[in-house]
Amino acid sequence: MHISDIDKAIVEGLRQFGVLRDVDGHQLNQRDGAIVVACSDGDQLHDIFANHAALQSARQNPRIHLLGGHGGALKIPEKSPILKPGRTTDLDLIDEIFEAQDLKGITTVVLYTHTPCGKAYGVDLNFLQVIALQMAAKSRLKALAAESSRVIKVACFAHVHHADGRRRTYYICKEAWKRFQPAEDDGDRDSAEVA
Ligand SMILES: [Zn+2]
């Protein structure tokens, strides 16, 4: 599977607008490790995981608690188009994230999306729609965490397999995304970014 033409243009625009930024590892608080939620895509997960592991290279004991399945963070928003009717996929993944917190004492959650993603392309999502869902996932996680008085920090990363073969991981700057999408209001007033 190759990146679509529209996603190529979207990635280029998001890079120019500063929404997709080069990852600056030291700004991500991984003192206790990270719960990483990523799509299981067999062609991309190795690169996603390897890059994330490199962000913890300063640790003597890297701690990456990996969750995801098909679509990864896209499974979290209520009414996400990748959710199948009659199932509790979103609630099950959210439950596992909070359970991981309880089991491992990790407070940093890193949500990944990627392009090209078969799960996203299967329901005709372009990468702008994917990132909008990723932000909705972050908002839902933080709202549910607040309801149960959980301490949680959520960062959003994106992985791109470019048409020329390069694979790159980017940090998504929420403030730049809001400027890029002025009509977007995810109801999340908490500006306490992980970065
Ligand atoms: Zn995928």
User: What residue ranges in 64-179 does DSSP mark as E strands?
Assistant: 64-67, 108-115, 153-161, 167-172
Query: What counts of helices (H) and strands (E) characterise the chain?
Result: 6, 6
Strands 20-22 and 64-67 turn out to be: unpaired
End-to-end CA separation in angstroms for the chain: 32
Q: How does pLDDT run across 37-85, given as a tens digit for each residue?
A: 999 999 999 999 999 999 998 888 889 999 999 999 999 999 999 999 9
For 140-192, the pLDDT digits (tens) are 999 999 999 999 999 999 999 999 999 999 999 999 999 988 654 555 544 44
- Percent of the residues in the chain that have a pLDDT greater than 90, as a whole number: 85
Distance 121 CA to ligand 1 centre (A): 9
CA of 132 to the centre of ligand 1 (A): 16
CA distance 110 to 64: 10
Residue 20 has pLDDT above 50, yes or no: yes
- Which residues are within 5 Å of ligand 1 (an ion), measured at CB? 39, 41, 117, 119
Are the beta carbons of 141 and 94 closer than 8 angstroms? yes
**111 CA distance to ligand 1 middle (Å):** 13
- Domains, the chain, in order of start with CATH, read 5-180 (3.40.1050)
**Tokens 């002025």 found at:** 182
* pTM attached to this predicted model: 0.92
Mean pLDDT of the chain: 93
What is the pLDDT averaged over residues 98-123?
97
- Collapse the DSSP code of 95 into the 3-class scheme (helix H, G, I; strand E, B; otherwise coil) and give the result: helix
